[in-house]
Chain A
Amino acid sequence: MQIKVNGKDLVLEKELSVKELIDEQRIEAPEYVTVQLNEEFVDKNDFSSIIIKDGDSIEFLYFMGGGRI
């Protein structure tokens, strides 16, 4: 299945939860990343339960300001 991560195409062999994708993508400081799935914010508490499906578009948004994490 194919998804978009921050605008870039990514092919996944199987469906993953948001948390699994965060782990797979080795997102820095995952506890502070904001996630939008198909232009809707995903609550941090739902990272493990929400499954990313074929064609989904996911955005990882990072704190940036004199410091980015």
Chain B
Amino acid sequence: MKYSNEQLERYSRHIILKNVGVKGQEKLLGAKVLIVGTGGLGAPAAMYLAAAGIGTIGLVDFDRVELSNLQRQIIHSTKDIGKPKAISGQETIHAINPDVTVITYQEWINSQNITDIIEDRNYDFIIDGTDNFPAKFLINDACVLTGKPFSHAGIIRFEGQTMTYVPGKGPCYRCVFKDPPPPEAVPSCKQAGVLGVMGGIIGTVQATEALKYVLGIGQLLNGYLLTFDALEMNFRKVKLSQNRNCRICGDNPTIRELIDYEQQVCELKQH
């Protein structure tokens, strides 16, 4: 491809990197990343991927921006309160980098639409920036069944964790966590609280994984769960084993269709 002078300048700090260069930047500009949820995790991930020049970014979110989101969901601003998050995210991305094509999906993901969304633009990499377990298991299962790599993450209080799934190269989320916990057993961020920066730290790790996957460089977090404790300021990489009994990616998978798990009532609010 031919770069404009403006693009050469915009991406100059990438182009100068030995592991990126002109060819790597072209890969980024040609890449398509789907971000499910534009909240605490998805917001910083989307902003950094947009700045990095990921050519197509899909944003999935049915929610609207609320005042209580702004403590951590930095893709949205005070003026965006009441606006659909996918649209607010799209506007911020365009302000950061007009090179990026943003596809918005103003939907809650479920077993009926997730595969269509993933296959809509044949996304290269998926980022799970959701805040609930039914969605996390749905994204995992859809990515395993469609053979797509994705980054899982979760944050709560002062803690976070993330892992990367690459088809055929290590465990999936369900290998580690067999089934979603019952809805009443889980405190939400709304109930438990979360330090605003947690999404920034873990969400940018997810964005880093997406960039490394597209560039084909370094070692991804497949086969590892990275845990982060902000109070101890401690990152740990826990090596994960493949679970041969995994119900979706094990030796004898029994899950062949996507499952809609029951959600916490407080997270089912519709606008």
Are A and B co-members of a single complex?
yes
What count of chain A residues pass the 8 Å CB interface test?
20
B176 touches A61 (CB 8 A): yes
B161 touches A66 (CB 8 A): no
Q: CB-CB contacts of A40-57 with B at 8 A, as 1s and 0s?
A: 110100000000000000
Contact of A29 among B133, B156, B185, B245 (CB under 8 A): B185
Shortest Cβ gap from B231 to chain A (Å): 14
Size bin of chain B's contact surface: 35 or more
Interface assignment of B76: CB less than 8 Å from any CB of chain A: no
B131 touches A69 (CB 8 A): no
Contact of B185 among A43, A65, A69 (CB under 8 A): A69
For chain B residues 159-189, which have a beta carbon within 8 Å of chain A?
Answer: 159-161, 175-178, 181, 185-189
Q: How far is the CA of A6 from the CA of B264 in the complex (A)?
A: 29
Residue of A nearest to B155 (CB): A64
The residues of A that contact B243 with a CB separation of less than 8 Å are 41
Interface assignment of A39: CB less than 8 Å from any CB of chain B: yes
Total A-B contacts with CB atoms under 8 angstroms apart? 80
A67 touches B238 (CB 8 A): no
For chain A residues 13-69, which have a beta carbon within 8 Å of chain B?
Answer: 29, 32, 34, 36, 39-41, 43, 59, 61-69
Given A64-B154, A66-B154: A32 and B185 interface contact (C-beta under 8 Å): yes
A68 touches B181 (CB 8 A): no
Interface assignment of B132: CB less than 8 Å from any CB of chain A: yes
The residues of B that contact A69 with a CB separation of less than 8 Å are 181, 185-187
Given A7-B236, A34-B177, A40-B241: A64 and B159 interface contact (C-beta under 8 Å): yes
Given A29-B185, A68-B156: A63 and B241 interface contact (C-beta under 8 Å): no
The residues of A that contact B236 with a CB separation of less than 8 Å are 6-7
B181 touches A66 (CB 8 A): no
Q: CB-CB contacts of B235-265 with A at 8 A, as 1s and 0s?
A: 0101111010100000000000000000010
Chain B residues in contact with chain A, CB under 8 A?
Answer: 130-133, 136, 154-157, 159-161, 175-178, 181, 185-192, 225, 236, 238-241, 243, 245, 264, 267
Chain A residues in contact with chain B, CB under 8 A?
Answer: 6-7, 29, 32, 34, 36, 39-41, 43, 59, 61-69
